[in-house]
C-alpha cells in the first residue's frame, strides 16, 4: 500500500463513528469526575466526624476552632455535592438529546431515568437541595454527640457523633417536590447527610455504569469496524518497518547496532564493529587525560594519632591500590598508577566517562547477560594502567573481550536464608530454594582441603564456623553463566526478591504481633534487650531476645500446599522481566508488606502496610488517598454493608496511627485495631496476587473492584433493568 493510502486509513480511523463514540465517552467522564470527587470529599469528611474517637476530639473545648472548621467544611462539601449532582444530571440529559435523540438509546434512557430517579425520594431530595442552596440559603445543621445506654448497671452503651440537618428548617421552604418533601417528613427530627450522599452516589454510579454498557452495545458495530481498521493500520506499520529494515546496504550503515552484524560470535565474546569503535575511541580519550596528581600533606591543625596502623610495603601489594580523594587544588580525583615516587590518575569527572563505556559495552547481547559495570570498570582501569605512556597497546574493546573470555563461566550463587529449613529443593521463579546439607558442606570442605593442604587447620576452623551458621538452613540457589561480580550482583537481586516473596507465605506473615526472621542470613532482625535494674544493695542484669525467632520448616507436602495457595503465582514475580503493569504493582506491594513483617515496631510496620495497599488500590496520586483505600479495601473484603463500614472505620484508624508515627506504645484497643488492619491488608494482597494474571493494568483491577459495589446495586434493582436494542 502506498504512503498516501496509509495516511488515508489513519484519517479514516480518526473520523470513524467508533472513534467519535470513544471521544464522546471520554468527554462524559469530566462531568462524572466533578460529581465523584465532590461526593468523595463529602463522604470522607462525614466518615471522619461519624467516627466517635475523632468526633469527640473535634467537639472538645480545647479543640473548638478545629471542630468549627470541620463543621464549616462539611457545609461546603454538601453544597458542592448538590451542585455537581445537578450539573451531572443536566450534562447527561443534554448529551443524550444531542447525540441520540431519535434512537433506541433515548427511549431506554428515558425509561431508566423514570424508574430510577423520577419518584425516588432520596434522589429528588438531593436534586431539590441544589435549589434550596441557591434560593433559600444554608440549611440549619449541627455537630452532635449521642450516647444510648444499654440500660443495665454496667453503664455501657453506644456513642454516636456526626453532623446532622434539622428537618424543620428544610420544611420551612415550599420549593420541594412531593418525593423530596416525603423524604424529609419521613426522616424524623434530623437528616443524616452521610446516608443521603451514600445512597445517592450508589444510584448514580449504577446508572452511569448501565449507560456505558448500553452505549457500548449500541455502538458495537462501529467499534468492531474501528478495531478492524486499527488492526489493518498496525499491520501496514509493521510491513513498512520491515521494508525499511531490509533496505539495500548502501541506504544504511550495517553495523550500527549489536544485532546488525552477522559476524557476531558469542562464543568468542566479540563486539559488533560500531560498539568496538565507540569503546576504543572513548578509551583513548580517557587515556589521554591521565595526569600526575599532587596530594596535600598533613593538615595544618592535625595532631599525631596513637592508633596502631599496619605497615604495608610495596613488596606486600598484590596490585596498585585505587585511591579516591582531592588533589592539592581540592579537585576530586582518582589515583591508580604509581611510577617511582609519582602518582597518576584522573579527575573524577573524566573517570565518570568509564561508566559511559560500560553502558556501550552492555549494548552487546552477550555482555548484557554476562558482565556488569563493576567488572567493566575494573577491566578499564587495568587497561589504563597497562597502556599508560606506551606507544603500542591493545585496544580497550579487545581487553574487555579478553578479560570476559577468561572470567565468564558457569557459576552457582548461594545465599543462605536465616530461620528457614526445607526438606528438598524446589524451583521458585529464576531461582531454587535448596537445603544446605551436611553432604554439601562435606564436599566443599574436602575440595578446600585438597586445594590448600598446608592450611588444613585454618580450613577446618573456617568450615566449622560455616557449619554452625549455615548447615541445615535453606538457601537461594541461582545458576548463571557470567563473571563473578555479575553473578554476585544478579544473584543478590534474585535472592532478595525470592526471599521477600517467599516470606509473604510464612505462617507469621499474617500475625501482626509476631516478627518474621526469615531473611538472607546476616540481615535477619533479632532484637535483643540488655538492661540493668539497680537497687540500694542489689542489681539485676537482663540480657535476652525481645522476640523468639520463628523457625519455618517446609516439608515437601508444605511446599506443594503453598504452591496451591498462591506460591506458584508469586514465583512468576521473582524477576521483573516480562511482567505487565499490574503484576509489577502486585510484586512491589508484596515485597513492601513482606518487609513489614520483619519490623518489630508497630508504627514502622504500619507505614509499610499502608504503602503496600496504596501501591495496588490507588490509580494515581490525584485520588483522595484515605477515602479511596477505605472504599476499595472494604469492597474487596466484604459484600455486607455493616462489615464494610467496620472495615472503613478500621482504615481511618490506621491513617490516624500513621500521623502519630513515633508513638511506640499503643493502648490495647489501638493495638487490636492495628492488628486487624494488618491482617486485612494481608488478605487484600492475597486477593491481588490471586488475580495477578487476570489484569494487565492496575486501573483494570481497581475498576473491577469498584464494579462490585455497582453490580450489587444493579442486581438489587434487576426488576427495573432495561435492555437496549442494538443500533440499526
Give the count of beta carbons closer than 10 Å to the beta carbon of residue 539.
Answer: 9
| Residue 624 confidence (pLDDT) | 83
User: Which tens digit of pLDDT belongs to each residue from 645-666?
Assistant: 889 889 988 888 887 655 556 6
Contact 452, 500 (CB under 8 A): no
* Residue 283 predicted with pLDDT over 70: yes
Q: What is the mean pLDDT of the chain?
A: 85
Q: If you average pLDDT over residues 189-218, what whole number do you get?
A: 92
* Residue 365 predicted with pLDDT over 80: yes
| Residue 515 confidence (pLDDT) | 86
* Residue 272 predicted with pLDDT over 70: yes
| Residue 728 confidence (pLDDT) | 29
| Residue 299 confidence (pLDDT) | 62
The three three-digit cell numbers of residue 693, written as one number: 494474571
| Residue 242 confidence (pLDDT) | 59
Helix (H/G/I), strand (E/B), else coil: 531: strand
- Would the pTM of this model clear 0.85, i.e. be above it? no
Which range is least confidently modeled, 326-335, 398-407, 545-554?
545-554
Question: What span, in angstroms and rounded, lies between the C-alpha atoms of 584 and 600?
Answer: 27
Q: Write the burial class of residue 583 (CB in 10 Å: 0-12 exposed, 13-18 middle, 19+ buried).
A: buried
* Residue 539 predicted with pLDDT over 80: no
Question: What span, in angstroms and rounded, lies between the C-alpha atoms of 248 and 237?
Answer: 19
For the chain, what percent of residues have pLDDT higher than 90? 53
| CA distances (Å), origin 453, targets 119, 447, 450, 462, 547 | 95, 10, 6, 14, 43
Question: What span, in angstroms and rounded, lies between the C-alpha atoms of 583 and 689?
Answer: 8
Q: In which band, very low, low, confident or very high, does the pLDDT at 716 lie, cut at 50, 70 and 90? A: very low
Q: If you average pLDDT over residues 414-426, what whole number do you get?
A: 94
* Residue 579 predicted with pLDDT over 50: yes
Q: In which band, very low, low, confident or very high, does the pLDDT at 10 lie, cut at 50, 70 and 90? A: confident
User: Which tens digit of pLDDT belongs to each residue from 79-100?
Assistant: 999 999 999 999 999 999 999 9
Count of all residues that appear for the chain in the document: 728
- Closest listed residue to residue 650, CA positions, set 625, 664, 671: 671
Instruction: Report the DSSP beta bridge partners of residue 93.
Output: none
Q: In which band, very low, low, confident or very high, does the pLDDT at 264 lie, cut at 50, 70 and 90? A: very low
Amino acid at each position: 500500500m502506498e504512503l498516501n493510502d496509509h495516511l488515508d486509513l489513519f484519517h479514516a480511523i480518526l473520523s470513524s463513528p467508533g472513534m467519535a463514540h470513544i471521544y464522546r465517552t471520554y468527554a462524559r467522564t469530566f462531568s462524572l469526575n466533578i460529581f465523584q470527587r465532590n461526593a468523595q470529599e463529602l463522604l470522607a469528611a462525614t466518615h471522619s466526624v461519624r467516627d466517635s474517637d475523632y468526633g469527640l476530639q473535634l467537639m472538645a473545648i480545647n479543640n473548638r476552632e478545629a471542630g468549627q472548621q470541620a463543621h464549616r467544611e462539611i457545609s461546603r462539601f454538601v453544597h458542592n455535592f448538590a451542585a455537581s449532582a445537578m450539573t451531572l444530571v443536566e450534562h447527561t440529559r443534554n448529551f443524550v438529546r444531542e447525540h441520540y435523540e431519535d434512537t433506541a438509546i433515548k427511549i431506554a434512557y428515558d425509561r431508566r431515568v423514570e424508574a430510577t430517579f423520577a419518584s425516588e425520594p432520596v434522589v429528588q431530595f438531593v436534586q431539590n437541595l441544589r435549589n434550596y442552596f441557591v434560593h433559600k440559603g444554608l440549611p440549619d445543621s449541627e455537630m452532635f454527640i449521642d450516647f444510648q445506654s444499654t440500660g443495665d448497671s454496667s453503664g455501657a452503651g453506644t456513642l454516636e457523633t456526626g453532623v446532622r440537618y434539622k428537618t424543620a428548617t428544610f420544611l420551612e421552604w415550599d420549593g420541594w417536590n412531593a418525593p423530596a418533601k416525603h423524604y424529609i417528613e419521613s426522616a424524623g427530627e434530623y437528616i443524616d447527610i452521610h446516608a443521603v450522599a451514600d445512597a445517592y452516589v450508589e444510584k448514580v454510579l449504577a446508572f452511569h455504569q448501565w449507560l456505558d454498557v448500553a452505549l457500548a452495545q449500541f455502538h458495537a458495530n462501529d467499534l468492531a469496524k474501528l478495531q478492524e481498521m486499527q488492526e489493518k493500520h498496525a499491520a501496514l506499520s509493521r510491513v513498512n518497518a520491515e521494508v525499511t529494515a531490509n533496505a539495500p546496504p548502501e541506504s544504511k550503515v550495517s553495523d550500527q547496532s549489536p544485532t546488525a552484524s552477522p559476524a557476531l560470535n558469542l562464543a568468542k565474546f566479540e563486539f559488533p564493529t560500531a560498539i568496538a569503535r565507540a569503546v576504543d575511541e572513548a578509551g583513548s580519550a580517557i587515556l589521554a587525560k591521565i595526569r600526575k596528581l599532587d596530594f596535600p600533606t598533613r593538615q595544618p591543625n592535625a595532631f599525631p594519632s596513637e592508633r596502631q596502623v599496619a605497615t604495608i610495603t610495596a613488596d606486600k601489594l598484590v596490585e596498585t591500590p585505587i585511591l579516591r580523594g582531592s588533589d592539592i587544588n581540592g579537585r576530586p580525583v582518582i589515583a591508580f598508577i604509581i611510577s617511582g615516587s609519582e602518582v597518576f590518575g584522573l579527575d573524577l569527572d573524566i573517570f565518570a566517562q568509564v561508566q559511559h563505556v560500560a553502558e556501550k559495552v552492555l549494548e552487546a547481547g552477550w555482555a548484557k547477560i554476562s558482565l556488569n559495570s563493576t567488572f567493566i570498570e575494573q577491566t578499564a582501569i587495568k587497561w589504563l594502567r597497562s597502556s599508560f605512556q606506551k606507544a603500542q597497546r591493545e585496544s580497550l574493546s579487545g581487553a574487555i573481550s579478553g578479560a570476559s573470555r577468561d572470567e565468564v563461566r558457569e557459576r552457582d550463587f548461594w545465599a543462605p536464608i536465616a530461620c528457614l529449613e526445607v526438606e528438598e529443593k524446589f524451583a521458585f521463579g529464576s531461582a531454587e530454594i535448596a537445603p544446605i546439607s551436611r553432604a554439601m558442606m562435606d564436599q566443599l570442605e574436602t575440595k578446600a582441603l585438597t586445594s590448600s593442604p598446608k592450611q588444613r587447620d585454618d580450613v577446618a576452623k573456617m568450615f566449622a564456623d560455616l557449619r554452625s551458621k549455615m548447615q541445615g538452613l535453606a538457601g537461594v540457589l541461582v545458576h548463571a553463566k557470567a563473571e563473578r561480580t555479575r553473578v554476585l550482583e544478579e544473584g543478590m537481586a534474585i535472592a532478595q526478591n525470592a526471599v521477600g516473596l517467599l516470606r509473604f507465605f510464612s505462617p507469621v506473615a499474617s500475625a501482626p504481633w509476631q516478627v518474621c526472621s526469615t531473611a538472607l542470613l546476616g540481615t535477619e532482625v533479632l532484637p535483643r534487650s540488655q538492661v540493668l535494674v539497680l537497687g540500694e544493695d542489689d542489681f539485676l542484669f537482663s540480657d535476652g531476645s525481645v522476640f523468639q525467632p520463628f523457625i519455618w520448616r517446609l516439608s515437601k507436602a508444605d511446599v506443594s500446599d503453598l504452591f496451591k495457595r498462591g506460591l506458584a503465582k508469586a514465583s512468576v514475580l521473582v524477576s521483573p522481566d516480562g511482567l505487565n503493569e499490574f503484576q509489577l504493582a502486585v510484586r512491589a506491594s508484596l515485597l513492601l508488606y513482606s518487609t513489614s513483617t520483619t519490623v518489630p515496631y508497630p508504627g514502622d510496620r504500619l507505614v509499610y502496610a499502608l504503602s503496600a495497599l496504596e501501591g495496588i488500590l490507588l490509580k494515581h496520586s490525584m485520588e483522595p488517598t484515605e477515602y479511596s483505600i477505605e472504599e476499595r479495601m472494604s469492597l474487596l473484603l466484604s459484600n455486607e454493608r455493616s462489615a464494610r463500614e467496620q472495615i472503613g472505620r478500621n482504615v481511618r484508624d490506621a491513617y490516624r496511627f500513621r500521623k502519630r508515627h513515633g508513638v511506640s506504645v499503643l493502648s490495647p484497643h489501638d493495638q487490636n485495631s492495628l492488628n486487624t488492619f494488618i491482617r486485612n491488608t494481608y488478605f487484600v494482597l492475597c486477593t491481588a496476587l490471586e488475580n495477578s494474571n487476570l489484569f494487565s493494568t492496575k486501573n483494570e483491577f481497581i475498576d473491577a473492584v469498584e464494579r462490585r459495589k455497582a453490580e450489587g446495586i444493579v442486581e438489587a434493582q434487576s426488576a427495573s433493568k432495561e435492555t437496549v436494542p442494538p443500533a440499526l
